[in-house]
Each structure stands twice: as structure tokens, then as C-alpha cells.
Amino acid sequence: MENDVLITPRAVLPSEILSQTMLAIVETVNASKLALIEKENFNKFSNYLERIIYFLRELSMSDIQNSDRLRDAVDILNGEIRVAKKLALLCSNRSKLYLLLNCQKIVKNLEDSTKKFSRALSLISLASLDAPLVLGNEISKLCKNMLDAEFRITELEEEIMDKIKTGIEARNIGRSYANDLLIHITKAAGISDEQSELKSEFEALKGETENDELRGDIAEALWMEQIIALLSKADIITTPEEKEKKYLNKRNSLGRQLLEPLQSFYCPITGDIMVDPVETPTGHIFERDAIEKWLTAGNSSCPLTMMPLNRSLLRSNKTLRESIEEWKNRNTMIMIASLKPKVQSDEEQEVLHALGKLLNICVERELHQECIILEGYIPILVGLLGGKSSGIRKHALDILCILAKDKDDNKDRIVGIDNAIEFVVHCLAHKVQESKSALRLLLELSRNNVARNLMGSVQGCILLLIAMSNSDDSQAASDAHELIDNLGFDNQNVIQMAKANYFGPLLRILSTGTQDGKVMMARTLAEVELTEYSKLSLFKDGAQGPLLQLLSHGDIETKKVAVRALQNLSSIPQNGLQMIREGAVGPLFELLYHHNLSSPSLRKRAAATIMQLALSNTAPEADHMQLSIFKSDEEIFKFFSLISLTGPDTQQIILQTFIAICQSSSGLEVRNTLRQISATRLLAQLCELDYCPVRTNAMKLFCWLTEDGTDSSLLDHVGQRCIETLLRIARTSENVEEIASAMGIISNLPKNSQVTQWLLDAGTLQVIFVHLSSGDGRKVTENAAGALCHFTDPTNPGCQKKVAEVGFIPILVDLLVSGTSLTKQNVATSLKQLSENSAGFSRPVKKQAVFRCCLASTEMGCPIHLGICSLNSSFCLVEADAIRPLARVLAEQHLGACEAALDALLTLIEGDLLYRGSKVLDEANAIPDIIKLLSSNVTKLQEKALRALERIFQLVDYKEKYGTSAQLPLVDITQRGTSGMKSLAAKTLAHLNLIHDQSSYF
């Protein structure tokens, strides 16, 4: 219902008058709610109006009298209602652009209207004195609030109005300013930035401006026209075709000759053309800066008229300033056109000179940049980038960078030229300054999607940028990093970066990208060849988490890619240990145990990754961490059981995993568990396979399980058949690792008569002899030497004879010199066991009678055993020339070899051999090495050396010869040794006459 005219005849009751007024206010409130702009201010205004309706309703229900004052007050109120309603309707029917540009006037009208409503309501209150006092007080309070009410535009609207004012005053602002202003306007007004809709709004603005109901004077009309002219410079308002047509028309109308400046353009003080002319009260015009310096220097009069002059009386001459600017713009436009042929000249210096002028024009004013664009310079400048002159290329790059900055259409123009991006990228590889200019241009162009895609496709671009990101020039490095990040929004670019060991964008996509992007990045990590440093940095920067998420939540193909990536990254111990520590093993085991998983290749990859984690646990870094890939014996059982459920490739990997684990800090526990679950039974079966990697690895693991197991548990699964299988492999295999494992298993078998007989029956001695003689490899020799210890047991002299008959002893002595420490240990053990029976096998010397009173010997007896000794019959160490090699082993760091050699040498001084054996040791210079063992950190070695020396020093010759060198270590033992060793050391010192036999040490 429309109530633009309210009739209030005197006969109408007050309640009816107020009822019509309330209805008109309701309509105004409803219209306010439809306002397209200043919604918060209109809501605030509507709230006041609704409070007025409430009080008018209360008055209408009160017993108030109809009076002229009441009717006059209501008429005033009705008039304000009509004005407010018109304003609300205006703000709901006009274009948003028009309303936003008039936001200050709209808000001012709302504030004024609120105050007028307050006054009108107070008049009604005064005309209704017979109304209740409480109601009157409430109305008075509302009136005061409305009088004090303030309505404000938003900060964004205020910023827009300031930008409009600045833009109009500056006059020569460029299109980037207009573009930025229009972006703010569309945001504040809620207008789409789609070109057709925005142009429609702009056309509506121009039409509405002509009939602006809010504007009432010429000044306001001019203001709106200036705003329209300012916004017309925006790219989205005026099409490129329209701009080009307008420019060409203007340029053609100017001619080709530069205009000379008018005399009035020159400053009387400086003689230069003015930039900011100011006028004195006498009408003379000067450059502002020049006249102010004149006055600052102490002058108080006009330099032309000498009349008194005050700085405050200077006034800007805008008309002259605009004329000077118009003259400059006109000449610049002509100059831009005239430089074009020179830029295309074949003379390098002429081109450089013209480009220098063009660069200065670009820097001077943004308006001129548009002229350069419209003059068609961009294709020419891009073409210059393919030339030979570095100076020309740099100038062209700098100009293109200025033209591209913050101007999307110019970027499109540059990118649209054939080979433009390729030319710019090639400039990166030239001189430093040219390279930096090319980098700046590429950075600016990288804000264009097409340009980004093209850059990545240019060969060497990514690599050059990464190299520049490490530059000592901080600005160039920063620009390169920013450009790389911009290019990182294209997945193919990111892949190229990864291949150049730059992973920031890849990690970003892997963490927060789309599912397809994550999978693509994971595939890159799986396929690209990474350095150890890159693998470390990828894990440090968080690659593991996203890959595990893909592993846990992806489909089969995604899981495959994730596992391959983890396998690639876990190949260095630090990453593998981090994966174990952070629980990555669990998801990998899940893949192995998933019964519905029909992808053998995925299982193989998962098993291979677990194997690498196991290998990581054998690295030195793992020694102090005490990590294990298994949480329980059940997990060990499940993992080992997979050997029976998977194909050969996965079987091999699982076996290799256990081999690696056996070498880790948790190896003993895992070996014990494997023995408890009878793993050796399955491994013995796998040893019967024809040659294949599975057999090789089964034997290696088998060997590890025999190292420290109990004899009974081992013999449960290793019988005569297994021994025959091992020897067949040792005889026929060409794989050194297999042979070493076979020899190792045999070496670790229990030392008892039954096993020894099985070994003899299977021809083990001949196999050992072949491998010790041929030198098939370090591990083969070590284990073969260990296996020989089965046959040198002193309780089985028959076997010992067979060892000697085969010809082992000379080989063993040679190995004391050439073998590894472990080989020497095993060889010394066998020699020690053989030497223990030497005295018993030494044949007595036969004697013949020469005279009745004497006998003469035809054979020389052994200096130790006094009988006839030989290698084959008595295994004598002296006959074997083993004393000096054994003595040299005493000086080695390997404690096992050192102890075994000492044990072998000590067989020479047992019982009544003491004197003769000590002499042999002395001649071999072995006693000083035994003395050195008194200072060993190993108690067992120390004690054996001490017992030997206690016996040797009972002999006068040797205590005199070696006693002095033994004193200090013996005294140290009496101070720090065990109680038994203290007593023995004291006893030895007593032999040396250094303490009394009755000393408390005893």
C-alpha cells in the first residue's frame, strides 16, 4: 500500500492518524531491507523506524487529544517518511556501481533523515502531553539516541573513495591503477568481475549519472564524469580494440614533428620546464621547488617584481600544469612512434640508444607504457632477444619486464609470440646482468598460466633456475625461489624440479595436493634417481607421513607407488631407522598379510622395503637405538611363515631380511625365536633345492642359526642327510656364498663323535682340504678352517692322524701368516689340539753300540719331545715350523686369534716340557709377546699369560732375561687383578725375588 500523501482531516481520530503513519513507516522499513548497498546502515536505520512504530502504537492506544499541534507534528513526520522511502527505493532499484560511487551521499542522507525523524517524533511527544509520563520519557530517550546516531561507510568504501579522489587529482594515472580500483569496487559492491556483467554495470552507471536524483549541482555532475573517465581506463571496461583505435586516431592527429614548449612553460628562476607550477599574488609563475628554495634562502620578495612575497600566498596553477603535461604526453607519443624504426635498425649502437630512450619513457610514466604497447613494440622487443648483442637483449628484457608488470593482457601479448619464453629462458644462461633481467621477466610472466606451462617445457629452464636459487646474489636467489614456487603449480614442472634435486613443490603437492597429484609425486620419488643427501632431506622435510597415508588408504595401484617410493627412500640407514622408530613397519606388514591382496608384485615390494629397514638396523647408527622391526615373537613367526606361502622372489627377500636382522642388535633374540619355531627344519629343506637365490639365502640364514644354538636343538633337524646335502653343495656349487655357508654350518655342528663320524663318512676332510688349498674366498677359508676343528679333537687321535695324512698341517701353518684373524683363530685351535697329543706320538730315538761303554744315536731327536717327530706322525709344532707364526699372532688385536695362538704355544711348556718348551719359545722370541698380554684388557688372556710366565720364571735363565720387563704389569695385577690373579702375580714376583715368599699377597 502506497502512502505518499497522508490526509489528516480534523474529524479523524488521533489513533487513525497515527495508524496511517505507522503503515507508511512499515513500507519504508520493507523498502530499506531491499537496499543493494549499505545494508548495515539501512538495518540500523530500520531499527530506529521500528522503535518509532512501537511508540506511535502506544500513543494511539493512549487517551490523547486531537489537536492542531499533533496534526502538524504528524505531517512533518509523514514528510520525512516520504523522503526516507524514496531513498530506500532508490537504493534497491539503481545499479550497484552507481550506488557504491554515491555511498557517501547515501550514508549522509540516512544520518540526516534519522535526525529529522528524531525531531518530528519529539514534536509528536510534545503534542501528546496527556500521554503517560513513562511513555514520554522513553520517546525522549529514543529521540536523543537518534540525534546522536552516526552512520559511516565501510573501510573498504572509504579506501575506494580515497583512491578515486587521488586518481582524479593525479590525472595521468595508468590503467593498472584503474584496474586495481575496479577490483576494489567490484568486491565492495558485490559485482561479478566477469567482463560482460561489469561492462553492463558501467553502461548503466553512465546512463544513471545523467539523471542522478541524488545530485543537485554542476560540481557533483562533473565529479561523476571524472569518476567515469577514470574507470574507463580499466582494461575490463575498454576493450583492447577500442583502446588501440582511440590511440591510433589520436597519434595520427598529432603529426610527426615534436612541438616546441611555450615560453610560459619555463620557470623564470631555473630556466627549465616546470613540473609543479605555482602562482604568486602578482600573477607570476615559478616552479614550486625553485621559489620555495628562494624564500628559504632568506629572500622575502618576488624575484621578478621585488614585491613582498609570503610562502603561504603561493597557489598551484593547475591549468598550466595540465597544459605542460598535455604537451609532454603529445611529444612522448610522437617520440615513441619515431623510435620504432631505430629499434629495428641494423646498427647496434643506434638500437641501444633507441632502447635506452624507450626504457626511460617506460620508467617515467605508466601512461606511456600503454602507448608503447599500442605502437606494437612487443613483437619487436621479443625478436631482439634472439639477437647476438647482450646489451640489446638486456635492454629489451628490462622494457618487457616493465610492460608485463601487473598487466595481464601484456603478459598474454608476450607469451603469445612464437618462441618468446624460449628466448627469455636462453638469456638466463648469458652474462650475469642479462641473466638477472631475464629472471625478473620470467618471474613476472610466471603469474600467467600459459607462460608457466611453457617455461617448464623449455629444456634446461628448471635446472638454470635451481642453479640461480643458490646464487650469492640474495635478490637473484630470492627471485629464483619465487619463480620456482610459481612454476610448482604445474605437476610436470615439479617432476623436473625433483630430477634436479629441488623438492619443495613436490613435498607440498604430496602433502596437500589432489589425490592424483599425490600419486604422481609418489611415483616421481619411486622412479627418480636420488642422492643420499636428497633422500635424507626428503625424510627430514616430511615425505614419510604422506607416503604412509597413501599406503594405508589408497587403492592397489596407489599402494604400489607408495611402497616403491618408500623403498627408494629407505635405502639409507638414517631413513630406515626413522621409519622403524615412527611405526612404518606396521603398514608394510599389513600389505604382506592381507589375504584379499592379489598383487604379488606389491607383496614383493613391501617385503623388499622391510628388508631395507632390517639392513638399516645393522648400521653403526643403530647400535645405541635398540630398535627392532618385530614387536613380538608372533610377528617373527608370521613373517617367517610367509616363506611357505609366497613365490621365490618374495621368499628370497624374506630370507635376506632375517639374515640382516641376525646381524643387528636384536639378532640374538630373533635367532632364538627362529630356533624355537623350528625354522632350521624348513631351511634344511630349502637347502635341497637346485641352485637358486632362495637356496643361497636359506643356507646363509641356516648358518646364522647354527652359530649360537644348543647342540640338541640343532641335531633335531641336522642329520646325516643334511650333512650330505651341505657337502654336495660345497663340492659342486660355484657360488662362494653358498660354499661359505655350507662350511659354516658344518663348522658350527656339535663337536661329538657321532657328528664327526658322519662328516668322515661323507668325505668332509677332502672337501675342507680343497677349499683351504684353493683359497676360494675369505669366508670360505674361515669356515673351512673352523670345520676342520671337528677332526683335530685330541680325544680322537685316529681323526688327527687322518688330518695329518691328508696334508693339512703345512697349509694351516701358511694360513697363520696369510689368513684373516678368524682363520688364524680356527687354525691355531686345530694346531693346539694336534699339539696336545704330540708327546705321545713322538717316536723314541734308536741308538747303536759303538763301544761297549757308550751308545751313539743315528737320528736327531725333537728339541721338545726328545723323540722322532714328524708332521704325519706326531703333529709337532716345531717340526711344522709353527712357533714363530703363532708367536706373531700373539701381537694381533683380534682377541680370539690371540688366545688360540697362546693356547697352542702353551702346549709346549706343559708338565715336564717346561724347560725345553721355554727354550723353544725363547728362540722364537715369543716370551716378550706373552709378557705384553699381562696388560691385556681381557681377563682370560691376562690370566693365561700369567700362568705361563709363572712357570717360565721358575727357570733362572728366563727370569733374568725377561723378569725386568714383566715387573710393572705383574705389580699392576697385584693391585687391580682378581683375588686368584693377585696371588699368582705375587708368586711370580717372588720367583723374580721382588717380594718375600711369606708376603701377605699369598
Confidence (pLDDT) at 868: 84
**316-321 own/partner pairs: CB under 8 Å, 24+ apart:** 316/276, 316/277, 316/278, 316/279, 316/288, 317/277, 317/278, 317/279, 317/285, 320/264, 320/265, 320/274, 320/277, 320/285, 321/274, 321/275, 321/276, 321/277
pLDDT in tens, 233-269: 777 676 666 767 777 777 777 777 888 899 999 999 9
pTM over cut 0.85 = no
Mean pLDDT of 510-516: 92
pLDDT in tens, 289-315: 999 999 999 998 999 989 998 888 899
Instruction: Map grid coordinates 699369598 to a residue.
Output: 1002
Confidence (pLDDT) at 72: 81
Q: Over 80: is that where the pLDDT of 615 sits?
A: yes
pLDDT in tens, 910-933: 888 899 999 999 999 999 999 999
Name the pLDDT band for 814 (thresholds 50, 70, 90): very high
Mean pLDDT of 307-332: 89
Q: Over 60: is that where the pLDDT of 50 sits?
A: yes
Listed in sequence order, the DSSP H helices in 907-1000 are: 914-923, 927-932, 939-952, 956-976, 979-991
- C-alpha distance across the termini of the chain, in Å: 129
Q: Over 70: is that where the pLDDT of 413 sits?
A: yes
Residue type, 720: Q
Specify whether the CB–CB gap between 709 and 747 falls below 8 A: no
Grid cell digits, residue 700: 646363509
**CA count, 13 A, side-chain hemisphere, 655:** 28
Mean pLDDT of 626-651: 89
Burial pattern 507-546, b for ≥16 Cβ within 10 A else e, equals bbbbeebeeebbbbbbbbbbebebeeebbbebbeeebbeb
Mean pLDDT of 420-448: 93
Mean pLDDT of 545-560: 89
Name the pLDDT band for 1002 (thresholds 50, 70, 90): very low
Q: Over 80: is that where the pLDDT of 349 sits?
A: yes
Name the pLDDT band for 781 (thresholds 50, 70, 90): very high
At residue 851, what are phi and psi to the nearest 5 degrees?
A: -125, 165
Specify whether the CB–CB gap between 856 and 850 falls below 8 A: yes
pLDDT in tens, 668-689: 899 999 988 888 889 999 998 8
Q: How many CB atoms lie under 10 A from the CB of residue 405? A: 18
Specify whether the CB–CB gap between 302 and 282 falls below 8 A: yes
| Vertex 804: Cα angle to 798 and 809 (nearest 5) | 140
pLDDT in tens, 130-188: 667 777 788 889 899 999 999 998 888 899 888 888 887 765 566 677 778 888 888 88
**Listed range (403-407, 628-632, 646-650, 857-861) with the worst mean pLDDT:** 857-861
Confidence (pLDDT) at 128: 66
Specify whether the CB–CB gap between 765 and 754 falls below 8 A: no
Confidence (pLDDT) at 665: 82
Confidence (pLDDT) at 186: 84
Specify whether the CB–CB gap between 147 and 115 falls below 8 A: yes
- Which helix (H) or strand (E) covers residue 715, if one does? helix 711-715
Which residues on neighbouring strands pair with residue 277, listed in sequence order?
287
Separation in Å, CA 908 to CA 83, 803, 915, 985:
130, 21, 9, 21
Confidence (pLDDT) at 171: 59
| Vertex 97: Cα angle to 93 and 102 (nearest 5) | 85
Enumerate residues 6+ apart whose C-beta is below 8 A from 987: 950, 1002
Q: Over 80: is that where the pLDDT of 500 sits?
A: yes
Mean pLDDT of 408-414: 88
- Which helix (H) or strand (E) covers residue 177, if one does? helix 175-189
Mean pLDDT of 939-945: 91
Tell which wins on pLDDT, 728 or 230.
Answer: 728
Instruction: Map grid coordinates 597544459 to a residue.
Output: 323
Tell which wins on pLDDT, 176 or 97.
Answer: 97
Name the pLDDT band for 219 (thresholds 50, 70, 90): low
Mean pLDDT of 614-639: 86
Mean pLDDT of 835-846: 80
Confidence (pLDDT) at 959: 86
Name the pLDDT band for 21 (thresholds 50, 70, 90): confident
- CA distance linking residue 403 with residue 371, whole number of Å: 11
Q: Over 60: is that where the pLDDT of 904 sits?
A: yes
3-state secondary structure of 748: helix
Burial class of residue 808 in the structure, from the number of CB atoms within 10 Å of its CB (0-12 exposed, 13-18 middle, 19+ buried): buried
Tell which wins on pLDDT, 906 or 368.
Answer: 906
**Listed range (576-580, 700-704, 974-978) with the worst mean pLDDT:** 974-978
Packed helices 778-788 and 808-818: angle between N→C axes, nearest 10 degrees: 130
Confidence (pLDDT) at 351: 94
Query: How far does Cα 618 stand from its chain's mean position?
Result: 27
pLDDT in tens, 483-492: 999 998 888 8
Confidence (pLDDT) at 555: 85
Confidence (pLDDT) at 286: 95
Packed helices 667-676 and 633-641: angle between N→C axes, nearest 10 degrees: 70
In terms of residues, how long is the chain?
1002
Confidence (pLDDT) at 851: 47
Mean pLDDT of 710-721: 74
Confidence (pLDDT) at 12: 55
* Percentage of residues of the chain with pLDDT beyond 90: 44
pLDDT in tens, 114-123: 998 888 888 8
